[in-house]
Amino acid sequence: MLDLEVVPERSLGNEQWEFTLGMPLAQAVAILQKHCRIIKNVQVLYSEQSPLSHDLILNLTQDGIKLLFDAFNQRLKVIEVYDLTKVKLKYCGVHFNSQAIAPTIEQIDQSFGATHPGVYNSAEQLFHLNFRGLSFSFQLDSWTEAPKYEPNFAHGLASLQIPHGATVKRMYIYSGNSLQDTKAPGMPLSCFLGNVYAESVDVLRDGTGPSGLRLRLLAAGCGPGLLADAKMRVFERSVYFGDSCQDVLSMLGSPHKVFYKSEDKMKIHSPSPHKQVPSKCNDYFFNYFTLGVDILFDANTHKVKKFVLHTNYPGHYNFNIYHRCEFKIPLAIKKENADGQTETCTTYSKPRRPSSKYGLEMTEVSGVATNILPVPPLCIRTGPAVLHVYLAGCTPGDSSPLPHLPPGSGALSPLVIQIGRRF
- Residue range 338-359, pLDDT digits in tens: 666 778 888 887 755 443 332 3
Residue 408 has pLDDT above 60, yes or no: no
What average pLDDT does range 137-164 have in this prediction? 54
Confidence band (pLDDT; 50, 70, 90) for 264? low
Tell me the percentage of the chain whose pLDDT exceeds 90.
47
For the chain, what is the radius of gyration of the CA atoms? 26
Confidence band (pLDDT; 50, 70, 90) for 115? confident
Using CA atoms, how far residue 16 sits from 22, 210, 267, in Å, is 19, 46, 50
pLDDT at 346: 87
Identify which of 140, 133, 142 has the alpha carbon closest to the alpha carbon of residue 171. Answer: 133
Confidence band (pLDDT; 50, 70, 90) for 380? very low
Instruction: Decide: 371 and 378 in contact? Cβ < 8 Å.
Output: yes
Tell me the percentage of the chain whose pLDDT exceeds 70.
69
Residue 391 has pLDDT above 70, yes or no: no
Q: Give the chain's mean pLDDT.
A: 77
pLDDT at 48: 86
Confidence band (pLDDT; 50, 70, 90) for 330? confident
pLDDT at 104: 87
Report which of residues 185 and 207 the model is more confident about.
185
Instruction: Pick from 67-81, 123-137, 161-175, 380-394 the range whose average pLDDT is largest.
Output: 67-81
pLDDT at 207: 77
Rounded to an integer, what distance in angstroms lies between the CA atom of residue 211 and that of residue 265? 24
Instruction: Decide: 209 and 383 in contact? Cβ < 8 Å.
Output: yes
DSSP string, 145-205: S--EEEEEEETTEEEEEPPTT-B-SEEEE-SSS-STT--PPPPPGGGTTT--EEEEEEEEE
Least confident residue range of 19-28, 41-50, 124-133, 369-378: 369-378
pLDDT at 364: 31
Residue 287 has pLDDT above 80, yes or no: yes
Rounded to an integer, what distance in angstroms lies between the CA atom of residue 166 and that of residue 221? 47
Identify which of 24, 6, 4 has the alpha carbon closest to the alpha carbon of residue 15. Answer: 4
Confidence band (pLDDT; 50, 70, 90) for 225? low
pLDDT at 120: 77
Report which of residues 360 and 32 the model is more confident about.
32
Rounded to an integer, what distance in angstroms lies between the CA atom of residue 359 and that of residue 16? 53
Confidence band (pLDDT; 50, 70, 90) for 383? very low
Least confident residue range of 23-32, 120-129, 234-243, 411-420: 411-420
